[in-house]
Amino acid sequence: MKKISMSKILRYLLTYGLITLILVMATKFLQDRAWFLSVFFYLSASLIFSTYVISKKTPGKYLLPGVLLLCLFHIYPAFYSGAVAFTNDSNGHQLSKTQAIDAILQDSKIPVQTELPINYQVVLKDSTREVFLVFKYSDSSYWIGNSKSVVKLDQSQLKFSINGQIQSVDGQKVLASDQVERYINQIQNITIKMASEITLQPIDLETLEASQPVFTYNASVDQLTNVLSGEKYQPNDNGQMVSDSGELLYPGWKANIGWRNFTSVITDKEMRTPLLAVLTWTIVNAFLIVTFGFLFGLVLALIFNYKHMRSKRFYRTIFIIPLAIPSVLSILVWSGLFTAETGVIDRIFHISTPWLTDPWWARVAVLIVELWSTFPYMFLISTGAIQAIPSEILEAAEIDGASPTKTFTQIKLPLVVRTVAPLLIASGAMALNNFGAIYLLTGGGPTFSNSNGNAGATDILISYTYKLAFNGQEGNNYGLASALSILNFVLVGAISLYGLRKMKTMEEIN
């Protein structure tokens, strides 16, 4: 008899358990109308099944977990940005159109005047313990109902007491007022839908209030009408209902607005000016920090790569301390040290500099902190590159009588730059998105006076995007933020591509 090993059973349980779980999730997403997620989960389940149960090929078994997660949490969000960038997704524009119109109808209810107050009494159905309200409505008919349904009662179904109060319905006694209180939670959630859009809702333990939406929606012409004024509202191209006189109804819905997020940053001066400043600083900042960082690192590497010097190891260890402190914390500490006048830096140097409140000083502060955090890496790679220069070349230069300056500028420097160039370009691409150094140090500020309160002098694209999406002064604008992310994708992509090209040509040279 063939022995069935534990690991085999475990593997079966794991595979089928996982597939079941994913299928269940896919179905739930389908119900909740999350189409992409649903399709992706169904597809994942079938891929897992075919890879681990049917297929005999090995590589897929090792790659699939990583690939699925990569698609869902790395590649999909990138494309999703592309889709959101063409919508007006933002606060007040997150519902679908039907949801938004429902919300407008619900929110706009006004009380309907009735001659007499509508009194109700409570009946509990024995079988289901469901709460029903019994009441006399408009003419003189009696009704029974709750949120789910409402029906007219026949006089014969009712039994009245001597003073005209309802005593029982279908032999079911109405609750006495002291009992009614026990069901207050259920009662207050009841909304009874009567004819012609009129709804009834309890306002206390005895009375119902009749109300009616101000608007009626006509789906065939896609139009809302205000019953009181007769004014008509039609959808505009920004996902909102608007009247002829330009009055907007809230909430709006998520609508496709085409290229408007992209064109508005070009045509709208209030957005163009700050965005241009942000874009410029993004590039200038990345360029400066890589240049300064590299120069500083290279000079240090030249100084400390000296054979007659002792305690080089000690210096090297201390120099890389900036790499070993969690950058979030070190930047926050720097930010405290830079506080004007009371901060440590101003006090020890006896100066009074508006570090974080003046645009130019704030930029200087950002560069100092970034230099502090990048020079160790630059120092390490420069040291590596210098040590990798073959000693024969340097000896040959010496024999040929080249001066130290000439040896440096014509041999050492070109060789080092050639080795580290791809690394520098990669650093540049990273520096474009150095969110922490900006957001945690200056918060992107000081804020421009002409930018709707969002962009600041030290903002780079990623921090500006973050503020637009999650910290907006005029609400969170996910659509616009996504459009700017795309700009950022293009920028990073261009620089990385340039780096790859450079790397390739260098491989060819070698």
Q: In the window 376-405, what residues touch another protein (CB under 8 A)? A: 376
Q: Among 73, 162, 176, 399, which residue interacts with another protein (rule: CB under 8 A)?
A: 73
Say if CB 202 and CB 189 are below 8 A apart.
no
> Sign of the C-alpha dihedral, residues 464, 470, 472, 478?
positive
Say if CB 374 and CB 286 are below 8 A apart.
no
Nearer to another protein, 224 or 469 (CB): 469
Taking the complex as a whole, the smallest distance from the CB of residue 357 to another protein amounts, in Å, to 13
Taking the complex as a whole, the smallest distance from the CB of residue 376 to another protein amounts, in Å, to 8
Half-sphere CA count of 42, side-chain side, radius 13 A: 9
Nearer to another protein, 28 or 193 (CB): 28
In the region spanning residues 132 to 151, those forming contacts with another protein, defined by CB under 8 A, are: none
State the binding string over 491-510 for another protein (x if CB under 8 A, else -): -xx--x---x----------
Instruction: Give yes or no for a cis peptide into 446 (omega within 30° of 0).
Output: yes
In the region spanning residues 304 to 323, those forming contacts with another protein, defined by CB under 8 A, are: 304, 306, 308-309, 315, 318-323
Tokens of 220: 């065939």
Taking the complex as a whole, the smallest distance from the CB of residue 61 to another protein amounts, in Å, to 8
* Environment class of 381 (CB within 10 Å of its CB; exposed 0-12, middle 13-18, buried 19+): buried
In the region spanning residues 345 to 374, those forming contacts with another protein, defined by CB under 8 A, are: 347, 372
Taking phi first (over 0 means left), then psi (-120 to 50 degrees means alpha), and beta for anything else, what does residue 234 get? beta
* Number of neighbours of residue 272 by Cβ within 10 angstroms: 13
State the binding string over 418-457 for another protein (x if CB under 8 A, else -): -----------xx--x-xx--xx--x--------------
Please choose, out of 74-82, 188-196, 232-240, 386-394, the segment that lies near another protein by the rule CB under 8 A: 74-82
Q: Residues 6 or more apart from 442 whose CB is under 8 A from it?
A: 335, 356, 362, 365, 366, 456, 458
* Environment class of 208 (CB within 10 Å of its CB; exposed 0-12, middle 13-18, buried 19+): buried
Taking the complex as a whole, the smallest distance from the CB of residue 295 to another protein amounts, in Å, to 14
Taking phi first (over 0 means left), then psi (-120 to 50 degrees means alpha), and beta for anything else, what does residue 453 get? left
Q: Among 150, 438, 465, 467, which residue interacts with another protein (rule: CB under 8 A)?
A: 465
Bridge partners for 422 per DSSP: none
Nearest C-alpha neighbor of 338 from the set 326, 349, 328: 349
Q: Among 108, 223, 343, 386, which residue interacts with another protein (rule: CB under 8 A)?
A: 343
Taking the complex as a whole, the smallest distance from the CB of residue 419 to another protein amounts, in Å, to 18
Nearer to another protein, 226 or 353 (CB): 353
Q: Among 48, 52, 88, 89, which residue interacts with another protein (rule: CB under 8 A)?
A: 89
CA distance 367 to 309: 31
Q: Among 23, 43, 72, 205, which residue interacts with another protein (rule: CB under 8 A)?
A: 72
Taking the complex as a whole, the smallest distance from the CB of residue 79 to another protein amounts, in Å, to 8
Q: Is 339 one of the binding residues for another protein (CB under 8 A)?
A: yes
Q: Is 57 one of the binding residues for another protein (CB under 8 A)?
A: yes
Q: Is 333 one of the binding residues for another protein (CB under 8 A)?
A: yes
CA distance 369 to 441: 9
Q: Among 329, 351, 388, 413, which residue interacts with another protein (rule: CB under 8 A)?
A: 329
In the region spanning residues 17 to 46, those forming contacts with another protein, defined by CB under 8 A, are: 25, 28-29, 31-32, 34, 37
Say if CB 472 and CB 454 are below 8 A apart.
yes
CA distance 254 to 240: 9
Bridge partners for 118 per DSSP: 208
- Counting residues that bind another protein (by CB under 8 A) gives 85
Nearer to another protein, 130 or 398 (CB): 398
Taking the complex as a whole, the smallest distance from the CB of residue 63 to another protein amounts, in Å, to 5
Nearer to another protein, 137 or 338 (CB): 338
CA distance 412 to 372: 25
CA distance 238 to 230: 23
Q: Among 203, 303, 351, 393, which residue interacts with another protein (rule: CB under 8 A)?
A: 303
Taking the complex as a whole, the smallest distance from the CB of residue 175 to another protein amounts, in Å, to 36
